[in-house]
Structure 1
Amino acid sequence: SLAHYLLAYFEMTDRDWERLGDISKRVNISPLGCGALAGTTFPIDRHYTAELLQFDKVYANSLDGVSDRDFAIEFLAAASLIMVHLSRLSEEMILWSSHEFGFITLKDSCATGSSIMPQKKNPDVPELVRGKAGRVFGHLQALLVVMKGLPLAYNKDLQEDKEALFDTVKTVQGCLEAMTILLREGIAFRGDRLAAAVAEDFSNATDVADYLAAKGVPFREAYNLVGKVVKTCLSGGKLLKDLTLLEWKELHPAFETDIYSAIAPQQVVAARNSYGGTGFEQVKKSLIAARDRIA
């Protein structure tokens, strides 16, 4: 179902949020008092200053405190994963808005007209977000390359972390805001086209095998038989739903009139009611759980 599809991206972004929270534990460490590399001769209290500045703890090794950029790399890695997820969603929105798919319509608030084709709407937001992903990946790779050969402790090379870090924050924040607007008000799902699409292929072939297995036919036999059924349909220019009951019975006597309801798109979805599946009852539970996690 469409809700199940969208919930997959909710799970991705929920992991992104958890990952950022986990990284914050290693970001909030005070380097104050590490000195240039070896600490200081003055009787300072690093734990006290860290508490005043609301750091969770202090670096236990002054050399590490001066030269560590793991926290920046971790953030860039997490930001890159966020961009992977946004880019995957963008790619699908671009495909779904195309004439060939037509699953969504782009609203004018999130699209521009073509410079040469007056009928065309350009999916600007998802295309730009998809492109920005490479920018963030590049910052991660750049900082990894900077760090890989540096000796302890501070080296001027480390100033390269600033541009990568600040630009990544700005880029990811902008992409998140843009995609939020796109999903909230920039697209309209075409239920008629979505419904038609699931009735035009053989995605319900597995359900034929499941149907036979439920009738006592060994699954291996059922699996091979379904392959023959699909070949029969392809040679005759038919879909599974177009076969007559006589044709079904010629393939196997276990087929009855209930095969038509078993392979109907709504039933195909509803039947996958295992935990985390796309069955409507499971999706309802997942939506409730997702709202609770957001709250």
Structure 2
Amino acid sequence: MHTNPSLEESRHHPALPSLLAAYHLATEAEKGRPVAGPDELPERYRAEVADPAGAFAGDTVLVAGPAGCVVLTAGGELKRLWVAPEARGRGLASALVTEALRRAEERGLGSVRLSVWRWRADALALYRRLGFRSAQPWDAREGLLFLEWRPGTAEVRRLTPGEVRERAADGFAALLVDAVDDGASIGFLAPLEPAEAAAWWTEAAGVREVWAALDPRGRVLGAVTLARDGKANGRHRGEIARLVVHREARGQGIARRLLAAAEAHAAATGLTLLVLDTQTDSPAERLYRATGWTPAGTIPDFAADPSGTLRPTTLYYKRLAR
């Protein structure tokens, strides 16, 4: 039976030596220099496998049970991202990197950099998706690409129920009104009254987990919610809903960051499956497809858009690390 590993910070995790060994063995093989086992790795890599706590002293090491790891150095370099082959395709790498970036923001790092072998297409696509951009090289080895991530002007974080209620009548209500005015099919008809929008957020604060994108003045630029299934046979899954970004703040990657934060938290807290629904052929649908969600089917005339016209809805799911 597989269980979803929680992400934890630990340089002493018992699975860490084997995870690092697997990473280095795979890397040496990809470089055309395969070795039979950890004892034949180059000395500096053997040192990491033998004593991770010493090799990464002062660094942040995140481990997901026996399935994956990543290191964020004190100087702001992301390295040693590894997910065991049998655990891939479930969002664990994204969860590890997103959590590392969250901690980088908490520490006030102005940027996070990394190098990736150009043949690691999946890893490169993940980094691009999470906001990394090309950077100037700092290593002369052939075959490496260099990327850098900088925090956006918007802070993405999970709010307490009290914080959601405090902002319900102001920022959150305006967010829903703006989305409905723009034609988003998110459960309301136009025109949406601010009081109705505020009431929805007030109620949601007690039953949903809420992430918000806040500008430096604390203004709400975007939000997403996660509802956990309370049934005895459904406690492994959750629903993503109300992913919205104000029109003034679009084009900055905020929707991706909100979604990634919710997915990472869901994986870290034991969920193995997420579901959602969205209007077919909407911009939101393109985002979900681009971030690894799988369409399960389309239902015609499922919901009315803000003008009252019935539209088809596509159901999506995403399996998380387990």
Given the two structures, how large is their TM-score scaled by the length of structure 2? 0.21
Greater helix share, structure number: 1
Greater strand share, structure number: 2
